[in-house]
Structure 1
Amino acid sequence: MRAGRMVSLLLLLQNRGRMSAAKLAAELGVTARTVYRDVEALSAAGVPIYAEPGPSGGYQLMEGYRTRLTGLTEGEAESLFLTGMPEPAAELGLGAQVAAAELKLTAALPTPYRDASMRIRQRFHLDAPGWYRRADPVPHLTVVAEALWRDQVVEVRYRRWSPRPEVVTRRLHPLGLVLKAGVWYLIAARRNQPRTYKVSSIQALRTLPRKAERPDGFELSAFWRAHVESYEEAEETETALVRLSPQGVAALPDVLGPRAARLARRTLTDADEDGWCRATIPLESVPHAAAGLLKLGLDAQALEPAELVAHLTETVRAMATLYPTA
């Protein structure tokens, strides 16, 4: 543990130059006192590290010194695909490995490439969740990821919404994890057929002492691409029937997104005597659809399914208690 931390400290100084004890402590997740002890140990081991006093001072390596201690550990190598995505890496429990792997990769690069990589890091950032939306809580994500990596079968208690809301128990063979618009999805085989499960809908999970089996020829990226196309285009996708005012119809792209709005517009009926139309919209889940319809306020009315109507009714009644009339 300490040896790995000291290597990280050394690589931080090599890659970034002079750094204060406070900044080193923040990067390494330790106290400044621990940094002082690690610096003393490195110096005693012959590393030419010295302190520069003053407000802009800090620790730095003697000019021209470079370490070759850049070998990646197994965990760091496994986490390389998540570099540039610190929040998803942290959710998977790989934040520290990603940070260490990036340091070692940077230290191994020639100076021109290292400078270019730092410029890219400073200028581009990936933020997966949409505006005004926090990522779904995923307390079981790290266990799912561990079972996936070890090819272990898992048994889950899962909250599903179709054909009706209920909690079911399933034994699954994990095949992959996908992060889509801030939402984690588990791709897992059941009865040898790959299926998609929202990780946030998993209520309980345990791993089983049985090796997971992968269908022949399964490729995660190809499966997900086909799944997205099927979900967005297929008419047999779960849908909800809604009634919309002219303002509600106009606002569909902002609420559902352009593609789902186009699908909904295909189903629009003629306006009734009040000027309202009926349409079917994609139903990912009852809470997801309810949240979208609530954004439309008085310009939308859910008609089907009954679970969606009940969910909205309960939500609106609960909201009404927050705003009692005078």
Structure 2
Amino acid sequence: MRVLFAGTPDPAVPALRALLESPRHAVIGVLTRPDAVAGRGRKVSRSPVALLADEHGIPVFTPRKPGEPEFVEQLTELAPECCPVVAYGALLPERILGIPPHGWINLHFSLLPAWRGAAPVQAAVDAGDEITGASTFRIEAGLDTGPVFGVITEKIEVTDTAGTLLEKLSHSGAHLLATTLDGVEDGTLHAVPQSTDGVSYAPKLAPEAGRVRWDQPALNVGRRIRAVTPAPGAWTLVDSARLKLGPVELVEDELPVGAVEVRKDGVHIGTATTAVRLGQVQPPGKRMMPALDWARGARLGTGTVVE
């Protein structure tokens, strides 16, 4: 089947690679977000999906909006039979949804109808879900509301961050997407409408969502930090300076909310319940380092409180 793949970040790469390796499907083009400025050097970079397409000599399309007349014309001329989508990063207008005969099929990293939206993996970790997964569904006008072709499940380990969980889902989901396209081509797989029960939403997370609220229970603090790792990243303020935080460990001792105590076994911070022990931290302008190394260098005074 002739397909145009739409995707942008690293988690979309395994799915594109799976389709490139499939003997049943021909990737005739890639739709991705425009090159963007990134990193400390502020260099213009291609998306990970575009870089993989370049390696294979596949035409890459980077319209500012996918509804632009020029891209609509290009898509019509390419005449793909189906357009698989993984984390493309922009809404697809109705005017292009009907161009491929088999439609646009999205790989979404949740068990729909749970966690529709831009940050399903982060939401699942933050909510304390024990099981998550990925779903393939046909895109329609609503936000992740289309009928579902197939699902896979994945256990959320207590040590999982959004990053590690997404890495696992990106690979198992790639296989799900490839087999979904096989079934669609064969006519043996048919989409089933989503349930109207259990609908939840996971909007895109702004940097402010990574600010740790120490007045929450320790369990919630730990989940939130893992949910925003690696992006948008967890942080707190120490003497008005932003300190980035890696995942923390729950401990049994109690401290006042936000109070910092440096011990031989690590740096403890009080929450609404028991304390947590910091793992890796990153002070402004420095690399990630063990929390004890940071605390000794910062020479934290008695009574230090994070905000």
User: Which TM-score band (shorter chain)?
Assistant: under 0.3
Structure 2 length-normalised TM: 0.27
Structure 1 length-normalised TM: 0.26
**Higher RCO (Cα < 8 Å, 6 or more apart):** 2
